[in-house]
A and B are shown apart, each in its own frame.
Chain A
Amino acid sequence: MKKSIEIVKTLLIPKLEKDIYFNRLTFKDAFWESFTLSFLNYENDAKPTYELLYALQLDNPEIIFDKLATIYSKLIKELAEDYVIGNHDKATDFLFQNNNPTFQKEVRFLETMQQAIKSVERKRIKADLPTTYERLTFELSETEIAAVAKKKGREDLKAKFKQWDEELKVKSEPTIFYSLGTETKSVQKTKIISLSWIKYAVAACVVVTAGVLYFKFSNNNVDSLMQQDENTVVTIDEKKGNDKNPPIEKPIETYITSTSEVSIQYPSSLGYTNTGTAKPITVYFKDASFTIDRLKKEYTVSDKGAGSEPRAKALEKQLQLLEAKSGKYEFDVKQLIIYSEKNKEPLSILTTDEKTFYLKRGNQYSYLYFTKIPLLFQPVKEATLIEQLEKISFENE
């Protein structure tokens, strides 16, 4: 009953407050209890409710009477909701036992609605269950967010550049118009004058530079010839560099790549077995062992030479990058990149539920996670899962 009294208070007091004599009123608990009890029967007999309100000696009780039907409807709805949720009390029991039609109609609707909601939600949860784990563990790495933000930032900047270009075009036109009388003639004149001046200046520079260089080199040749005649010792120009230390910028074949296409193997229950309709995944084997060996040799040589620290550091960095990826993999829906040499072991990709993928190399199974960051292969250890994968593999052979 306490809950019903609280609901009645919440609904009725704001209406009573509008009456000018409200401040003179004092409400005792007994009043609210008797009012709530009589109000619960308002639909069958409104008289006791009116009498209790008249007893309050309000300035204009009729205004409150007009609103009683709405208040009653709200009260019944709230009590019906409570009843359907399972919170039964004296008030709900009273309404139920007295076969209150409004209450019963509301309860029936809410019960049906609850069942309908249960049905729809159960279907949704059941459909979502296989992917719930992926949703729970899905997170974006900082590098992915940074890459997207970078791309978006660049696009925005490019858009701004275009906008500025447009503004520049618009701004440059009136200046030309102002400087010379007629529009077309003036533009042509300005361009001809400036271009021809630059042309002559550049030509003069080229002639002067060529002259100076010719003079300098001819003198050097004469000097060296004279030195060779006098002295038989041959010297090497230090600026030319050491042939044993080729620069790191020299293009190096980083990976020896070989590719193959592999079809995903599904469990027969998914209805894909041997259909050949599923899209194949391209497997790239990227073998950097040759490059790593070569870099290591170069690093050993360059490390000994004095003044070759930057080169050694660059080699070391490149080596570290290649070694960090070695033996790892990257995977998405279309391709699998394996950073190792292609061996003769048969390779296949399996899935149990179209969401979780596994790699089979020889007789070994490993998890395949969607990743753009190279990951080490994590072997499958659970016996039941291996059994399941072997079954899929067998069915697809």
Chain B
Amino acid sequence: MSKITSTKFGHLTDPELVQLIQENQEYLGEVYKRCKTYSVSFMRKMTNGAKNDYELDDVFHDSMLVLYEKIIAGDFKLTASLQTYLNSVCRFQLLNKLGKDKLFTDYDDHSDTDDDEGSMAYKSSITDCLDEIEDPKESKFYAIETALIKMKTAGGHCYELLTLFWYHKKSMNELTLIFGYTNEVNTRNQKSKCQKRLEKMAFNELNA
């Protein structure tokens, strides 16, 4: 378990946090606050200064996304502390970026002798990483993405409804409660209307 921190929700255990993140994405903030400093230090040590802080921050952000997407997929089982998990994901992602070069191998050799086990620990068996978005340069993808951003800027509930369903994996029942619709059929109809609207907007983008 990661050490208790001076954050507002420092009293929560890691499994409790995972449970809360599943219900409310904002609790990622607590994990971020708890683990970022150590994970970045871990990566700094690992890369021996070969990567700047911006790059390390980016790797840490990606690791947070890996954790979040694992949690909302519903099949996430915490076998170590969140700190160790994030360190491991950061390590694996850096390994992919660095291409197993000498810098990493040197650190790997000395990892067992590290005395700061609580904050610098990692598990080499954890190989979770952020999956690539398929074909981001395809015109249809780009059109939908642009339409989605326009939909978000325009306001209304469509962007939230679609993202909560398709990315955050909320069920129809949960969406009904979040948006205050009378029943699931209504929610399904609303989602369907939003999807049609997005389809139209994307079509216009493609033919603009």
Partner of B140, one of A112, A119, A135, A381: A112
Partner of A116, one of B8, B38, B119, B141: B141
**Which residue of the partner chain, among A77, A113, A378, A388, contacts B37 with CB atoms under 8 Å?**
A388
Q: Which of A116, A131, A382, A384 contacts B144 (CB 8 A)?
A: A116
- Asked if B113 CB lies within 8 Å of chain A CBs, one says no
Least CB distance, A90 to chain B, in whole angstroms: 23
What is the bound-complex CA distance between A117 and B146, given in angstroms? 10
Q: Which of A118, A121, A133 touches B7 (beta carbons < 8 Å)?
A: A133
Q: Report chain A residues within 8 Å CB of B198.
A: 113
In the complex with contacts A113-B144, A117-B162, A120-B148, A136-B29 CB distance below 8 A: yes
Q: A109-B199, A125-B25, A384-B37 are in contact. Are A137 and B8 (CB under 8 A)?
A: yes
In the complex, chain A residues whose CB is within 8 Å of the CB of B64: 125-126, 129
Are A120 and B152 in touch, CB under 8 angstroms?
yes
What CA separation (Å) do A267 and B53 show in the bound complex? 10
Decide: A114 near B65, CB < 8 A? Known: A132-B26, A132-B28, A384-B37.
Answer: no
Q: Which of B171-208 contact A (CB under 8 A)?
A: 192, 195, 198-199
- Chain B residue nearest in CB terms to A117: B166
Q: Which of A98-128 contact B (CB under 8 A)?
A: 109, 111-122, 125-126
* List of B residues within 8 angstroms of A116 by Cβ: 141, 144-145, 148
The distance in angstroms between the C-alpha atoms of A118 and B38, with both chains bound, is 28
| B33 at the binding interface (Cβ < 8 Å) | yes
Q: By the criterion CB–CB under 8 Å, are B166 and A133 in contact?
A: no
| A129 contacts B166, C-beta separation under 8 Å | no
Q: Does A134 contact B (CB under 8 A)?
A: yes
Instruction: Please tell me if A153 contacts chain B, counting CB pairs below 8 Å.
Output: no
- Which B residues lie within 8 Å of A109 (CB)? 199
Q: Which A residues touch B140, using CB under 8 A?
A: 112
| Contact B28 A119, beta carbon cutoff 8 Å | no
A130 on interface, CB distance cutoff 8 Å: yes
Cα A77 to Cα B195 in complex, Å, equals 11
Complex interface: stretch among B87-95, B96-104, B121-129, B131-139: B131-139
For the complex, what is the distance from the CA of A132 to the CA of B33, rounded to whole Å?
9
Question: Which residue on B lies nearest to A130, using beta carbons?
Answer: B32
Across the two chains, which residue of chain B brings its CB closest to A381?
B6
Tell whether A385 is near chain B: CB-to-CB under 8 Å: yes
Q: In the complex, which residues of chain A have a beta carbon less than 8 angstroms from the beta carbon of B145?
A: 116, 119-120
Question: Which of B29, B38, B52, B162 is the one whose CB lies under 8 Å from A135?
Answer: B29
Chain A neighbourhood of B27, CB < 8 A: 136
Instruction: Name the distance in Å between B141's Cβ and chain A's nearest Cβ.
Output: 5
B14 within 8 Å of A (CB atoms):
no
Q: Is A269 interfacial (CB-CB < 8 Å)? A: yes
Find chain B residues with CB under 8 A from A115 CB.
Answer: 133-136, 141
> Which residues from B are CB-within-8-Å of A120?
145, 148-149, 152, 163
- Chain B residue contacts of A122, Cβ below 8 A: 65, 133
Tell which of B54, B119, B145 has the most Cβ of chain A within 10 Å.
B145
A134 touches B167 (CB 8 A): no
Residue with the highest number of chain B CB atoms closer than 10 Å, among A111, A121, A137: A121
**B141: A residues at CB distance < 8 A:** 112, 115-116
A129 to B135, alpha carbons, bound, how many Å?
A: 25
Closest approach, in angstroms, between the C-beta of B128 and any C-beta of chain A? 15
Closest-by-CB residue of B relative to A382 is: B37
Assess the B30–A136 pair: CB atoms within 8 A: yes
Chain A nearest CB from B103 CB (Å) reads 20
Name 15 A/B residue pairs within 8 A (Cβ), A-sorted.
A112-B138, A113-B198, A114-B167, A115-B133, A115-B136, A115-B141, A120-B152, A121-B168, A125-B64, A129-B61, A130-B32, A133-B30, A135-B26, A269-B52, A269-B53
Chain B residues engaging chain A, CB cutoff 8 angstroms? 5-9, 25-30, 32-33, 37-38, 41, 52-54, 61-62, 64-65, 68, 119, 133-136, 138, 140-141, 144-145, 148-149, 152, 162-163, 166-168, 192, 195, 198-199
